[in-house]
Chain A
Amino acid sequence: MLKDTMTPKERAAAIAQGKPVDRMPCNPNIANGVARVYGCKISEFNTNAKTIADAQIACYRRFGADSARIFTDLFTFAEAQGAKVKFPDDDTADLEAPAISPDVPDSELMKEIDKIKPADPYHDARLPLHLEAMKYLLDGVGDEMGCSAGVIGPFTNSFFLLGVERTLRAIHKNPEAVHKLTKVSLETAKAFADAAIKIGLTPTISEPMSSCTVVSPKVFREFSLPYLRELVDFIKSKGKGVVIHICGQTNKIWRDLADMGIAGMSIDNVASIKECKETIGMDTKIMGNVDPGGVMYSGTPDEVRLKTLECIRDGYDSPKGYMIMSGCSLPVDSPFENIDSMMNTVRELGYPVNINKLDDMLADVRKRLGVEA
């Protein structure tokens, strides 16, 4: 197996200075699958800060990915604002009940929304645990790599405060309610991002409900963008760049996102790296987008190799940089050999990318798999 000769931090610094490095930065986005590497149950992440950090560190030592992030699920903010979350023994947490009970009639809704307070990251639900985990992570690998903190986008968090279906309806039937919820979600996001930055981590925003797979660009611009921009501006004002990940199709809102001055845009596998590069590659780094389910979870190592090379082929010359990544968080039981295949493909290729070598590697793996270009 090939070995890295630089730490992620050394690699990133050298690339920023235009110097050659051992390989392109790569993030398989292993998420709660780190529990499988470390050998703990996913539910331990709900009670033990050290375990959250140690599992991330164990995963980094095993695979050598360029990113480590403190993030367990999308519901930590909503939980801290009154939503109920269920914690399966060995799977990712899920929303059990929104902060506002489904029994609250529409006529009482605004009154109930007014009762929801922004979360206090130092006191509420699992947020202090996550802040503590950030400190452990930084102590463990902070000198080797940049560590990031998962921040849930304000619009997405609103869905967990009011309930997903009810929020989808309210977009048309009670727009004011959605604005109010997103505003109070923004306050939580800012407070949490601030706390993470103070510890020394860099926030990354997950905003899946803003996806064009869920809402129209028009709805995104009215209900999500103003709050997302305020969050991005806040993080930038603290001297940090911010990467945004949105699942599903996002091509119609890339321009809006890039115009906020983000450090990177992470896209899902249904979006096109090539199209993204052509649309906003001159403004921000592009990240993505090997299919997490169809390839990383259920494919073979050679299929992972093929898709990894195809993504790099599409993205490597993006003006503001490119990072090979999975399209979204990997399913927890993604095979280790597939993650190794992604990392080793990138190691073998080296950096800067030699396009002839890349094409030779592509031709080889296509031949082995019997697929056409």
Chain B
Amino acid sequence: MAASKEDLLQKLSDCVFEMEDEEVVNVAKEYAEAGYDPLEGILKGLVNGINRASDMYEREEYFIPELLICSSAMYNALDVLRPLIPKEKSGGKCKVVIGVARGDTHDIGKNLVKIMLESANYEVIDLGRDVPVEDFVNTAKREGAKVIGLSTLMSTSMNNMAKVVDMLKQEGIKDQIKVIVGGGPISQSFADKIGADGYSVNAAEAVKLVDRLVGEPIPAA
């Protein structure tokens, strides 16, 4: 007897949460073969699992190795489910340029935000880590991105976040490109101070923040 959609969604979530980065692929295939909605599988299964993992990280029960394997599990299953999403649903939203500001090479937070944004159908251009200020601005201009997302774990790169905002202002395009910031040392007051458009405390909130800024709500799953 085929498993119910609810059972498989729970399994997808559990596999991500419990670091089953191989088993999750089988579950995703089973889910896909049963003909269930792939976007729902991503949002209610995989993203749910990574949210539970993030909660454990917040509570200091999961750490970087655990979060890394959870996100691998999520990526492995995304590879199965994402190609099944109809074209008009994927790529329907605007482009977001994302990266870790110059001065830091920690990128787990940025990677989580990327996963979440991609799951919510944003087209994410990932510049990686330790990214120079001008690369953010030039890429956003070239690609016609509406949002720049800046992440850091270290206070050493906070200055460079401010410089991205300044450079957009200098070029007179600050109104067209929103800047969001996040990461360990970052706060709402820091975002306000440097003139960023938004701050989010975690990856899930980052999606809601981008939705709010560019006015495109998550499509109903």
Which residues of A lie under 8 Å from residue B159 when comparing CB positions? 298
Give the Cβ gap from A7 to chain B, nearest Cβ, in Å: 32
* Size category of the binding interface on chain B: 10 to 19
Q: Which of A169, A291, A292, A298 contacts B68 (CB 8 A)?
A: A169
Task: Please state if B69 and A298 are interface contacts (CB–CB under 8 Å).
Answer: no
Contact with B along A273-303 (1 / 0, CB 8 A): 0000000000000000001111001100000
Chain B nearest CB from A248 CB (Å) reads: 9
* A169-B60 in contact (CB<8A): no
**A219 CB contacts on chain B under 8 angstroms:** 63, 65
In the bound complex, do residue B154 and residue A165 qualify as a contact, i.e. CB atoms below 8 Å apart? no
- The interface stretch among A131-139, A181-189, A208-216 is A208-216
Interface centre among B62, B103, B156 (most CB of A within 10 A): B156
Complex CA gap A145/B215 in Å reads 62
Contact across chains for B156 and A293 when beta carbons are under 8 A apart: yes
Q: B84-118: which residues lie under 8 A (CB-CB) from chain A? A: 103
Shortest Cβ distance from B219 into chain A, in angstroms? Answer: 33
Q: Does B138 contact A (CB under 8 A)?
A: no
**Contact between A214 and B64, CB atoms less than 8 A apart:** yes
Query: Which one of A173, A216, A270, A291 lies within 8 Å of B69 (CB-CB)?
Result: A173
Q: How many A-B residue pairs have CB under 8 A?
A: 54
CB 8 Å contact bits of B156-199 with A (1 = contact, 0 = none): 10110000000000000000000000001100000000000000
Q: Which of chain A's residues have a CB closer than 8 A to the CB of B60?
A: 212, 216, 252
B155 at the interface (CB under 8 A from A): yes
Q: How close is A27's CB to chain B, nearest CB, in angstroms?
A: 19
Contact of B65 among A172, A212, A213 (CB under 8 A): A172
Number of A residues, CB within 8 Å of B: 21
Interface-central residue, B61, B64, B158, by most chain A CB under 10 Å: B64
Instruction: Chain A residues near B154: list those with CB within 8 A.
Output: 293
B:33-91 near A, CB below 8 Å: 60-66, 68-69, 72
Give the contacting residue for B158; candidates A165, A292, A294; CB below 8 A.
A294
Minimum CB distance partner of B107 in chain A? A165
Say if the beta carbon of B19 comes within 8 Å of chain A: yes
Cβ A294 vs Cβ B69 within 8 A: no
Q: How many Å from the CB of B163 to the closest CB on chain A?
A: 12
